[in-house]
Amino acid sequence: MMPLLPTPTATSTPVLSPTHTNVHAGWQVLATPYFSMAYPPDWTLGTPTSSTDWVVIWGPGHQDAVQVTVVLKTGVPQGELALYCQPQSEGARPTTLASLPMTLQVTGLGNSVRVWRFVNAQQTLYLLQVGDAQADAATQARHESIFATFRPDNATPWHC
């Protein structure tokens, strides 16, 4: 389980973040022992607890329930990595996000959720998900710009 997450801080100018990309001015940086990620200043971090293995970042005002989510699973047995190791068998496809090899699957009610998977050399599985598969390209690009700042503690990919 993930420990309590630190409070994010705003940046006043673009700086090299704990992620591998520059953070936009004013963006918050969430840094945990397992990953870091930046998000716009009008988005808010969900309230984590010591027992959560996921993080939710809400869009402006929570009105439209837009959220990006990172789910973390440590020590995943090799047999449970099928969607990462053999994505085509489950309707997923290989892709790259945040300069990392990932798989992408569209799932959920009405195929509305996009889920990227990354597994590092320590067999830690990261699921980056957002319910925007039916949204316009500009909305999807905004969400992908958040995920583009994702950086795991160990960026060495798992080799299936």
Q: CATH code at 133?
A: 3.40.1000.10
**Would 85 be classed as within a structural domain?**
yes
pLDDT (tens digit, 9 = 90+) per residue, 34-50?
899 999 998 888 876 55
Which is more confident, 96 or 86? 96
Which residues span the domain enclosing 73?
A: 44-152
Asked whether the predicted pLDDT for residue 4 surpasses 50, the reply is no
Q: What is the per-residue pLDDT across 113-158, written as a single tens digit (0 to 9) for each?
A: 999 999 999 999 999 999 999 999 999 999 999 999 999 999 999 9
- 109 is a domain residue: yes
Using the 8-state DSSP alphabet, how is residue 127 labeled?
E
Q: How confident is the model at residue 2 (pLDDT cuts 50, 70, 90)?
A: very low
Read off the tokens for 143: 């969400």
Q: Is 4 inside a domain boundary?
A: no
pLDDT at 1 over 50: no
Q: Is 22 left (phi over 0), alpha (psi -120 to 50) or beta?
A: beta
The answer to whether residue 62 sits within a structural domain is: yes
Q: Which two tokens stand for residue 45?
A: 């971090």
Average pLDDT over residues 24-33: 87
Number of domains in the chain: 1
Domain presence at residue 2: no
| DSSP-derived pairing of the beta strands 67-73 and 28-31 | unpaired
